[in-house]
Amino acid sequence: MSELPQEPWNDLSADFCGPLPSGDYLFVIIDEYSRYPVVEIVKYVSAQSVIPVLDKVLSTFGIPRVIKTDNGSPFNSYQFSKYANNTEFTHRKITLRWPRANAQAEAFNKPLMKNIKAAEIERRNWKQSMFQFLRQYRTTPYSSTGISHFKLMFNREAKTKLPSVPRKQTKNDELLRQNDEISKILMKAGADERMKTRRSDIQIGDHVLLRNEVKEKKTTPSYDPVPHVVTNRKGNMVITKQNERNVTRNSSFFKKTKYQLQTADTADEEEVPNVPTQKNHLKIPEVRDGEAHTSRPTRQRKQPTYLQDYVTRVNNQ
């Protein structure tokens, strides 16, 4: 369960959404304190296209402390890493193949894409429909906090078409943290019960097996039989090593094993057990003089058992 940031626009989550019917993509940025969304339309998902758009957003709202993204190609590029160092914000990439670690942006993409698909079906302008959705989403009180995203972000209520009554100023931060903690506890308990999760006891130095995410054949085992060694763990993120290969996954991708990874030296020292082969149990018929040698054994011919109860004649005798 993640902790709420200290102030607005301090920790951000970013993700892409699309492609859309027009060929465009949506670059979505979510403030993790207020859940205030910022959506920008981009033509490509390359670093050259993302960096100017992100710089425009940061010039409007300010430079955050942390920006959390997935491991997509634009965020893994050298240009984006250089931009993060020059702008002086920390770029944190989530665990590989675990999109739940970027849940804020992933959860917002679902209603956003639903609105755009509905506009396409009704043959309306999807951009205008998206802007109307953003205006309503930002001014609607959030279920877990009871306060709108706009007010948490700018410390004031946005003007809408709905009539409003002036209210007394309350301590939004204290109420926000209390409601957010209760909501997260309830959501975590429900998700744990639904997914039947259990606490992982994997520790540094344990030998584990990695789950095969893609099975090329039906006979492919569920886990890679070659064990990994756990080198580091940060929360639910586990880092393992197999020979010279480092793997970073969520703890649910691993299971502990009692078998250890053998090195080349220990493998040479071990004795190979004398396992009887199939040839040792195969009865090879003797070859008589004048008979041709065959590689396959001859079959013994005998009368079927179901004819033992009957009297048979051989050669009309």
CA-CA-CA-CA torsion for 286, 288, 290, 293, nearest 10 degrees? 0
Whose tokens are 């914000």? That residue is 89
Q: Is residue 245 part of a domain?
A: yes
Q: Is residue 303 part of a domain?
A: no
Domain boundary among 88, 108, 140: 140
Rounded Cα distance, 260 and 229, in Å:
8
Q: Is residue 317 part of a domain?
A: no
Per-residue confidence (pLDDT) for residue 40, from 0 to 100: 95
120 and 19 in one domain?
yes
Within 10 angstroms of residue 180's Cβ, the number of other Cβ atoms is 19
219 and 125 in one domain?
no
In three-state secondary structure terms, 105 is helix
Per-residue confidence (pLDDT) for residue 289, from 0 to 100: 54
Pairing of strands 66-69, 11-17: parallel
Domain boundary among 110, 140, 170: 140
237 and 116 in one domain?
no
Q: Is residue 289 part of a domain?
A: no
136 and 239 in one domain?
no
Q: Is residue 236 part of a domain?
A: yes
Per-residue confidence (pLDDT) for residue 252, from 0 to 100: 83
Q: Is residue 69 part of a domain?
A: yes
**142 Cβ contact partners less than 8 Å away, ≥ 6 residues apart:** 35, 148, 149
Whose tokens are 């992982």? That residue is 200
Per-residue confidence (pLDDT) for residue 141, from 0 to 100: 87
Q: Is residue 200 part of a domain?
A: no
Per-residue confidence (pLDDT) for residue 313, from 0 to 100: 62
User: pTM for the full model?
Assistant: 0.60
129 and 22 in one domain?
yes
Per-residue confidence (pLDDT) for residue 118, from 0 to 100: 93
In the chain, how many domains are there?
Answer: 2
- Smallest CA-to-CA distance from 235 within 207, 200, 208, 209 is with 200
Q: Which long-range contacts (CB under 8 A, 24 or more apart) does 177-180 make?
A: 177/4, 179/144, 179/145, 179/146, 180/4, 180/144, 180/145
Write the CATH number for 95.
3.30.420.10
Rounded Cα distance, 288 and 290, in Å:
6
Distance set, CA 141 to CA 36, 94, 131, 144, 232 (Å)? 11, 28, 18, 9, 40
Rounded Cα distance, 250 and 155, in Å:
37
Q: Is residue 188 part of a domain?
A: no
Range of the domain at 89: 11-140
Mean pLDDT split into 10-residue runs, the chain, 317 residues? 83 90 91 93 92 95 93 89 94 80 82 92 93 93 85 86 66 72 78 76 88 80 87 86 86 80 51 51 53 65 74 57
- Smallest CA-to-CA distance from 13 within 60, 59, 73, 75 is with 75
134 and 18 in one domain?
yes
Domain boundary among 105, 120, 140: 140
